[in-house]
Amino acid sequence: MTGEEQLQQKVRLSSVFRPGTPIDKQQLFAGRMEQVNDVLNAALQPGRHVIMFGERGVGKTSLARVISGIIKNTTGYKLLNCGTINCDTTDNFNSLWRKIFRELYFVMDSQESGFRVQSPKDVPLESILPNRELSPDDVRYMLTQVKEHTLIIIDELDRLTDRRSRSELADTIKNLSDHAVNTTLMLIGVADAVDELIAEHQSIDRALVQVPMQRMSMDELTAIVDFGLGTVLMATETGVSNWIARLAQGLPYYAHALGLYSAFKAIEADRMYVTPDDVIEATKTTVTKSHTLLNTYSIATSSPQKQNLFAKVLLGCALAQADEMGYFAASAVVAPMSSIMGRPYPIPNFSKHLFELCEPKRGSVLKKVGEPRRIRFRFTDPMMQAFVIIHDYSLGRLTNELLKHSKARTKETTI
């Protein structure tokens, strides 16, 4: 390929592999049919709303955008112009709904000058908002002005940290459900935010369809890689897409990143197929471009003692078997640590490291919950768990054999 042809090929790949941007095209989103069905069923039932929850990085926003497109194209639902409204840490109930009403319109009949004929006019809901703090009943009233069935997607619910605002949002859900308002709310956040929201108003539980988003399976991740490469007539050597999927640890972000960067390496070598060496180079690129995670990793593992264990213990945690919420016990770290160290390595040898990794001086890379003797740990940022694996793989510290036989967060088959 000429230099120009290589550049064109990279541009085409960048439109398919999109690690930094949520996917909004149905054909680019692999799997997740069970979740799609749950949301569609809820959207078609008056008084029902959706809350989608899961770890960061599992593709919740991408799925929401795909589903919003399906609903719009097949049912005629009116959607927010921007597709979703994101909560931020400065939001309260009032500011959140004012952002939403800025994007929604209703039809107002207006009388043209000199004529008796009424002509419809689209008016933003924002223009008729009361000049005071909005209440849940204000939201109900405003949404009744929109005649079309409306889907409102509220993303990053966990960033709405004000307790009163969450309570008012729960009241709003109940209010909309009780009055069968022609609007479906779709809330997206991490599991902790869901628990807190429902705790504010137990009675909204029956109005919510709860859609858990788990990490993707090996089948789903390899489908992302194979589909992306196939769109530009590229392929992989045998088993390569499986290794990309295994490194991604169930997170589509890393499948897109590794698929993109390994394909770039192949193109630069004037090849139309991806090799294991390309994947290794892609892990290096992914690490380099993950500046925030790399900085946190450095804080967590740095020490003036050259033989310190923090990097190895963090890798052991990344390889440990965890539950669906990402929690693991210290006992789950024993097997990977024993493999890393090449000899039996019991809990007392690394327990203090686990607790230190929970402290601010180590970047609070881990979080602990529970009482003594029943303490469990998880990565504060789920993206860090996969990053540690990719980081150590890029340096040759993590072998294919150890990764293959670990109990890390990789589902072998589609659920």
Same domain for 300 and 280? no
Same domain for 309 and 207? no
**pLDDT (tens digit per residue) in 204-256:** 888 888 888 888 889 989 999 999 999 999 999 999 999 999 999 999 899 99
Can you give the pLDDT at residue 146? 84
Same domain for 158 and 137? yes
Q: Is 108 within the bounds of a domain?
A: yes
Q: Is 170 within the bounds of a domain?
A: yes
Q: Is 92 within the bounds of a domain?
A: yes
Q: Is 412 within the bounds of a domain?
A: no
Strands (E), 70-167: 78-79, 85-86, 105-111, 118-124, 150-155
Tally the domains of the chain.
Answer: 3
Same domain for 295 and 281? no
**pLDDT (tens digit per residue) in 186-208:** 899 877 767 777 776 777 888 88
**Mean of the per-residue pLDDT values for the chain?**
86
Buried b (16+ CB within 10 A) or exposed e, 198-221: bebbeebeebbbebbbbbbbbbbb
Least confident range of 2-6, 70-74, 151-155: 70-74
Q: Is the pLDDT of residue 115 over 80?
A: no
- Counted residue by residue, the chain has a size of 415
Which residues span the domain enclosing 266? Answer: 3-19+216-289
Same domain for 231 and 89? no
Q: CB within 8 A of 207, min separation 6: which ones?
A: 47, 48, 49, 173, 174, 177
Query: How many other CB atoms are found less than 10 A from the CB of residue 283?
Result: 24
Q: Is 410 within the bounds of a domain?
A: no
Q: By C-alpha distance, which of 86, 69, 336, 305 is closest to 188?
A: 86
Q: Is 132 within the bounds of a domain?
A: yes
Say if residues 152 and 78 touch (Cβ distance below 8 Å). no
Can you give the pLDDT at residue 200? 64
Higher pLDDT pick, 345 / 150: 345
Q: Is the pLDDT of residue 26 over 80?
A: no
> In the predicted model, what is the mean pLDDT of residues 264-269?
96
Q: How far is CA 356 from CA 147, 329, 346, 349, 365, in A?
A: 56, 15, 17, 13, 9
Q: By C-alpha distance, which of 159, 143, 44, 52 is closest to 101?
A: 143
Same domain for 146 and 261? no
Among 213, 237, 261, the domain boundary falls at 213
Same domain for 365 and 320? yes
Same domain for 129 and 208? yes
Can you give the pLDDT at residue 414? 43
If pLDDT is split at 50, 70 and 90, which confidence band does 43 have? confident
Q: Is 27 within the bounds of a domain?
A: no
**pLDDT (tens digit per residue) in 391-406:** 999 999 998 888 887 7
Query: How many other CB atoms are found less than 10 A from the CB of residue 56?
Result: 15
Same domain for 378 and 316? yes
Between the two ends of the chain, the Cα-to-Cα distance in Å is 41
Q: Give the 3-state secondary structure of 234-273.
A: CEECCCHHHHHHHHHCCCHHHHHHHHHHHHHHHHHCCCCE
Can you give the pLDDT at residue 110? 53
Among 273, 289, 305, the domain boundary falls at 289
Say if residues 23 and 65 touch (Cβ distance below 8 Å). yes
Same domain for 239 and 148? no
Can you give the pLDDT at residue 248? 95
> In the predicted model, what is the mean pLDDT of residues 85-95?
93
Partners of 52 in the β-ladder: 188, 211
Q: What is the dihedral of CA 129, 130, 136, 140, to 10 degrees?
A: -50
Q: What is the CATH number of the domain that holds 328?
A: 1.10.10
Q: Is the pLDDT of residue 415 over 50?
A: no
Higher pLDDT pick, 138 / 4: 138
Same domain for 283 and 197? no
Q: CB within 8 A of 173, min separation 6: which ones?
A: 49, 185, 201, 204, 207, 208
Can you give the pLDDT at residue 197? 72
Same domain for 58 and 117? yes
Can you give the pLDDT at residue 119? 47
Among 213, 239, 263, the domain boundary falls at 213
If pLDDT is split at 50, 70 and 90, which confidence band does 118 have? very low
